[in-house]
Amino acid sequence: MVASVVPIETDYLVLGSGVAGLSFALRAAAHGRVIVVTKRAAEESNTQYAQGGVAAVLSPDDTLDAHVADTLTVGCGLCHEDAVRIACSEGPHLVRELVDRYGVSFDRGRDGDFALAREGGHSARRVAHAKDTTGREVERGLLAAVRGHDRVTILADHMAIDLLTMQKYGGPEGCFGAYVLDQRTQEVKTVVARAVVLATGGAGKVYLYTTNPDVATGDGIAMAYRAGARVANLEFFQFHPTCLYHPQAKSFLISEALRGEGGVLRTRSGESFMERYHPMKSLAPRDVVARAIDDMLKKTGDDSVFLDMTHLDGSFLIERFPAIHAECLRYGIDMRTQPIPVVPAAHYSCGGVVTDTAGRTNLRNLYAVGEVAMTGLHGACRLASNSLLEGLVFGARAAEDARNATALRPPAVAPWYAGAASDPSEAVVVTQNWDEIRRFMWNYVGIVRTDKRLERARRRIEVIRDEIREYYWNFKVTGDLLELRNLALTGHLIIECARRRKESRGLHYTLDHPEIDPRFAVDTVLRRGDGPDPA
């Protein structure tokens, strides 16, 4: 392993290439040079796999206040209303800009206006979509614009190791770059920037079953926490109620939009059950539906429940959901004539790195946007399709704020130093710990929790993190090791947040404290060194 001696200079360093990172990059490029670092191919992000769409008030039959009210209701008392109003009010313009400026193609109705869908928790049709592959279309349009911009450089197959902070040089709290591993050559590069933007997405891979791609390992949360940034509300991890259940299918999401078009959740015997749990039935908020399915599976002993679309017109289903129809057919399931077997799976982190409404963290010149951030938009549970909206709005707002960032930098920047680290010799340590973390996080820190389960998880994660630290300092870094290190810390932070919330609210449900407690109507904030937090 080699390290570059001369730092790479740029105005803005963006870690992540989903909707939030690309939205920032395109705007920031108007007033500076941008480097976008992405772990795999630039397309590989949570955005690419978003099916449902973008929630925004795009119809005269809808109102801003209704979108705000729905978001606040689903957020269960923890949303920051200023962030909610900003996202809901600025979203419609940015959705239209996707079309007019970046050529993103949304489905249209007969009148030429947006064909809007309704999803769980929404009181109106307000989800703009591109069939059932909205994220892929949004990513395509933004990435094409980024690749065509002469002031933006994409470093694919590169992974940030850690942030460069002024504290380590005896200066004020602030960030001025990152050490970045080139996974093709194993060279560690030092990238120095006027502002650093975390847009690394979520952490679904901390759980055994997830709808997220393999890149979602909590990297931004872990790096920010190690650097001294505040993180919050990580106990609120959203489990999508409907992931395709098939032994050969790898975590394929069955969009909430199917229920929005009339899909009904049923038991194996064909009985509908959501009316027992919520007046909105199959269109209840995601936390309610996920817990209801979990409860039914425990009661019946079945492996899955079923999403029934067979009462709807078959040609409409193929036209509206071509990708889902094709994927189900791969496994012998024709949703026109057969109910789809589904189970919940980890989907979205409503907590993250604490920011204000301009994307600023408590570390100067460090921003966080998209799923990695905790703006307060989602509260204790995210309203469906508010995620792409969040990336668009706060990516744009951060870019506007960062143009005024004043560079921080020590007189000399130390290159990466590997010391006496040797080549990895026991990769089984990485795979064993990876598998164990994901399994006990699913069993102990999943949809339903208890104090005893959380304590078991805490004890185990501390032992594993000790093993990882020893391995990290003794062997040269690899992408797999960096992901495991980040995954373990993020899991530890989720556990600690969950242990501190002695109530059930939104996505955090514990059998030992099953009611909402008004004393806990506050964010769960952690910062390294502030107390008995994960080190």
Active-site positions read: 286
Structure tokens at 123: 């009181």
Contact between residue 54 and residue 389 where contact means Cβ atoms under 8 Å apart: yes
- φ/ψ of 187, rounded to 5, equals -80, 135
For residue 22, what is the enclosing H or E element? helix 19-28
- φ/ψ of 324, rounded to 5, equals -65, -40
Sign of CA dihedral 269, 272, 278, 280: positive
Burial of 124 (C-beta count, 10 Å sphere; 0-12/13-18/19+): middle
Q: Which residues, including other chains, have CB under 8 Å from residue 67's CB and lie 6 or more apart?
A: 55, 56, 57, 88, 126
Pairing label, strands 34-37, 8-15 = parallel
Residue 75 CA to residue 341 CA, distance in Å, equals: 28
Residues pairing with 9 in the sheet: 192
Phi-psi region of 386 (alpha: psi -120 to 50; beta: other; left: phi over 0): alpha
Q: Which residue has the tokens 């933007």?
A: 197
Residue 344 CA to residue 358 CA, distance in Å, equals: 33
> Which of the 8 DSSP states describes residue 428?
H
Nearest to 351 by CA among 206, 221, 527: 221
Nearest to 306 by CA among 334, 272, 261, 280: 272
Quick count: other Cβ atoms within 10 Å of Cβ 103? Answer: 13
Nearest to 382 by CA among 347, 414, 422, 407: 347
Structure tokens at 276: 């027992």
